Copies of this chain bind each other. A is one copy, B any other.
Amino acid sequence: MKEQVFLYDTTLRDGTQGEGVSLSVDDKLKIVKKLDELGVHYIEGGWPGSNPKDMEFFEQVQKIRLLNSKITAFGSTRRIGIKAEEDENLQKLIESGVKAVAIFGKTWDFQVKEALKTSLDENLQMIVDSVSFLKNNGLDVTFDAEHFFDGYKQNKEYALKAIVSAEMAGADCIALCDTNGGTLPHEIAEIVEEVCSHVTIQVGIHCHNDGEVAVANSLAAVQSGARQVQGTMNGYGERCGNANLISVIANLQMKMNYQCIDEVNLAKLTSISKYVHEIANQAAPSNQPFVGRSAFAHKGGMHVSAVLKHPQTYEHVKPELIGNKRRVLISELSGQSNLMFKAKEWNCTIDKKDPNSKQLLETIKEKEHEGYQYEAAEASFELLVKKSFSTWKDYFSLDYYKIFIEKSGQDLFTTEAVIKLCVQNEMVLTAAEGNGPVNALDHALRKGLEQFYPIIKKMYLSDYKVRVLDETEATASKVRVLIESSDGEEKWSTIGVSGNIIKASWLALVDSVQYYLMKHENEIEVVYPKKEDHCLGVSNH
C-alpha cells in the first residue's frame, strides 16, 4: 500500500503572481475542470477578499460539479486587535461558499515585530482565533506558515509555537512556506523532520524556485514526513515560480513510490501541462522536465541508436506513462512510430497499409512542422481526420476576401471586410464591419453563410489567441492563432498557422464554422454537388 501525498494546486492564485501570467474567470474555470480530472485534491482559486475577479470566480465555480477536487479559498489571519468574526477577510472566505480554506499567518518573530508591528502573543492569538473561527464554520483549514524556514532558523521556539497554536486551534494541515524561495533541500529535510516530531496533524510544504531547487525541496519535505505538497502547473508563480506540481507528481509517484493521483491519470500530465500553457498564453518551454517537447528528444547519433535498443539508457522514465513521447531529432526513421503514437493519443487507429492513414500521417507531420499543435485545437484535428477517412466536403469555399482599415482623426475608424464565397455551388458576395480585421472577416463570412445554414446564427467566437512562433522575427514571423467558439452549450477550438496573422485567423475561423456545420449536419440542408460547379478552383487556403 503506497502512502498518499495530497496535492494542493495554487496555479490560480500564486501562479497568477508570475510575471505575464493573467487568467480571466473563464480561464480559471477551464483549468479547474482539468485539475479535477487529473485528481488534484485542493484547488486554490484565489483570495475572495482581495478583488472582484476572485469573488466572481468563487460564485461561478460553484456551478461546476467536481469529482476529485476541493475548491479552496485563500486569505490571512484576522487583523490585529479585532475579533475573528469582525474580520472582513475571514468573512469573505466563508461567503465564498467553499469547503476548504487556507490562511497564512506569521511564524517568524522578526516579521511579527517589524511587518505586523504587534506582540508575539497577539500574533499567536490571531492564529488561534482565525483557525477556530473557520473550523467553527465547518471548513477544512490549512494554515500556511509564512516565512517558516527563515523564522525557524532565527527563532525556532517561536516558529514551532506558532504552528502548534494552529494545530491546537483545530487546523487540518500546517503548510510550511519557503516564502522567499531561498532554502536548500538539506535544510528543508532537517527542519520538516523536526516539525513532524512536534505536530500530529498533516504537514504541508510550499516552495518557490528562487534557488532552482523547488522540486527537490518538495521531495525532501515529503521524505521527511510532509504529506501535502503545494505547487502550480508548470511552476508558474511570482519571481522564479512555485514548485512545479507536474514534476513533483511524476517524481513522487514514478520514482519514490508515493501515491498522488490515479495511476492512469499520470498519462494526462503532458496534455494538461500544454493545456494550461495555452490557456495562460505562455510559451511551453520545450525542455520542461517530463512533459516538454524535448524531454525525450534524442539528438546525439550515439544516443539515438542506444535509446532504440535500450530506452532506459537515456530515458529516466517511460515517456508514454506521462503522455509524452520519444522524439528522434536527426533521423527520418523516427517519424512513423512517432505519428502512430500521436494518432493513438487521439483515439484514431491507424493502419500503415491503408493509404488514407498514410496520407493523414503525412499531413500531420507537415502540419506539425509548420507549427500546428493540435493539443488545444481538437476540432481542427477532428476535421483533419474526417477529411482523410471520408468523402466529407467543405460546406463552403473562398474566392477572395479584402479588408480595409482606416484611421483618421480622433474618432474615425473603419474596419470593413468583403468576402466572396462559394456556397452550395452559388457565388455569394458579402461585406461587413468589425472591431478588427478578423472580427470583420468573421461577420462577413457568417453573413454570407446564414442564408444557407441558418443554424450558424447560434454560434459565436468565444476566445481568440495569437502566439508568435519564432520570437526572433516578431510580427514578420509565423503566428499560431487559436480560436475558441461556442453555441452557448458546447465549446470547440480550432487553429491556424501562417506567416500572416490574417491568413492564420482565417484558417482557424473556417475550421470553426466547418466543424460546427459538420457536427450539426443533420440539422442543415446540404445541396452539393449540383450538376454545374460555379466555384471551380476556389479554396479556403
**Chain B residues positioned under 8 Å from A18 (CB to CB):** 287, 294, 299
Among residues of B, the one whose C-beta sits closest to the C-beta of A19 is B294
Number of interface residues of A (CB under 8 A): 133
Q: Are A299 and B19 in contact (CB under 8 A)?
A: yes
Among residues of B, the one whose C-beta sits closest to the C-beta of A504 is B436
Q: Is A165 an interface residue (CB 8 A)?
A: no
**Chain B residues positioned under 8 Å from A256 (CB to CB):** 184
Q: Which of A401-442 contact B (CB under 8 A)?
A: 401-410, 413, 415, 434-439, 442
**Chain B residues positioned under 8 Å from A436 (CB to CB):** 475, 479, 499-502
Q: Is A247 an interface residue (CB 8 A)?
A: yes
Q: Are B297 and A239 in contact (CB under 8 A)?
A: yes
Q: Mark A284-316, 1 if CB is under 8 A from B, else 0.
A: 011111101111111110010010011011111
Docked complex Cα distance between A409 and B540 (Å) = 9
Q: How many copies does the complex hold?
A: 2
Contact partner of A474 (CB less than 8 A), chosen from B24, B468, B484, is B484
Interface segment among A129-137, A206-214, A449-457: the answer is: A206-214
Docked complex Cα distance between A132 and B394 (Å) = 59
Docked complex Cα distance between A315 and B211 (Å) = 11
Q: Are B332 and A51 in contact (CB under 8 A)?
A: yes
Most central of A213, A238, A296 by chain B CB within 10 Å: A213
Q: Is A338 an interface residue (CB 8 A)?
A: no
**Chain B residues positioned under 8 Å from A20 (CB to CB):** 286, 375-376
Q: Mark A256-293, 1 if CB is under 8 A from B, else 0.
A: 10000000000000000000000001010111111011
Docked complex Cα distance between A470 and B222 (Å) = 39
Q: Are B184 and A313 in contact (CB under 8 A)?
A: no
Q: Which of A526-541 contact B (CB under 8 A)?
A: 537, 539, 541
CB of A346, distance to nearest CB on chain B (Å): 19
CB of A305, distance to nearest CB on chain B (Å): 9
CB of A214, distance to nearest CB on chain B (Å): 8
Q: Is A180 an interface residue (CB 8 A)?
A: yes
Docked complex Cα distance between A476 and B16 (Å) = 26
Interface residues of A (CB under 8 A from B): 16-20, 22, 24, 26-27, 50-51, 53, 110-111, 114-115, 147, 150, 179-186, 209-213, 215-217, 219-220, 223, 235, 238-241, 244, 247, 250-251, 255-256, 281, 283, 285-290, 292-300, 303, 306, 309-310, 312-317, 329, 331-333, 373, 375-376, 398-410, 413, 415, 434-439, 442, 460-469, 471-477, 479, 483-484, 499-503, 506, 537, 539, 541
